Amino acid sequence: MDDAASPQERPSPVVAAQPVRDLVAARAEQAVLTESEQDEIAAGLRQVYEEFIALRMHYQFGIDEVLTKVEILRKEFEQMHDYSPIEHVRTRLKSVESLMDKALRTGGEMTVRAIRERIHDIAGIRITTSFVADAYWIADILASQGDLEVLTVKDYIAAPKPNGYRSLHLIVQVPVYLSTHVEQVPVELQIRTIAMDFWASTEHKLSYKYEKNLPPALREELDDAARVANELDARMERLRGEIRPQAAPGGGSGLFSGRPGSPA
């Protein structure tokens, strides 16, 4: 997940048009287009670009809503229970350029509605915990909140990706109350331990540097590092009872009942 995007002012037409021209040029390299076809695509993309400016505002509000919930939990844990499972929180909102690029790569209609249906990581929040069980615990508590709907769950902790990536992914939907209507906004939650986050960050940087074509020696090192990170989490989990021997306060959704590392 990239660093949180800072608030941006609405770009001027000249600035907004440049990414559109670049995207059209990239698409033109893949197919032979007439000048009128390129102009038609450019006009459509410019309209979508302007709609994305408003769309990003809604997703930023969605991030703010979920982030408030997370911060409330963290403060409650710290002040009332003398222990917080939340170590770090980061947010990310895809830029318009990144969103349009992914929309083109994934194919389909270039409308805001169609893009929202097929791209689910426009807004994201990453929560880092100390222990594996705390990752499930936080997800379970958030899922139990009445105004937050869990749309999908991908448990890469119980079933890591082939490259060794481990994390808990949830797409949650939160209502955003605007002046004229209520917007239901999906937000991606990534919840992982410090060890998982360190490995994922390193793997991402190396994959970016080598354009996802890692040399075999580096791939082997990363595979071994994933094993070590997993072993570290297992060892820390055994020590967790010394830090928080009591059962977690409060209830939960039961979403992860019986899963590895789920809270007591």
CA distance 253 to 123: 23
Q: How far is CA 22 from CA 122, 186, 230, in A?
A: 21, 29, 42
Give the pairing of strands 86-93 and 149-155.
unpaired
Residues in contact with 221: Cβ distance below 8 Å, sequence separation at least 6, in sequence order: none
**In the structure encoding, which two tokens stand for residue 70, read together?**
């997370």
C-beta of residue 158 within 8 angstroms of C-beta of residue 93: no
Q: Which of 188, 203, 231, 242 is catalytic?
A: 188
The pLDDT tens digits for 87-130 are 999 999 998 788 878 888 888 887 888 888 888 889 999 999 99
The pLDDT tens digits for 140-161 are 999 999 999 999 999 999 999 9
Q: How far is CA 20 from CA 24, 55, 128, 146, in A?
A: 6, 17, 36, 40
The answer to whether 50 is a known catalytic residue is no
The pLDDT tens digits for 3-60 are 443 333 334 433 444 555 566 566 555 556 677 877 777 777 777 677 778 888 999 9
C-beta of residue 176 within 8 angstroms of C-beta of residue 183: yes
SS3 content of the chain, % helix, strand, coil (to 5): 50, 15, 30
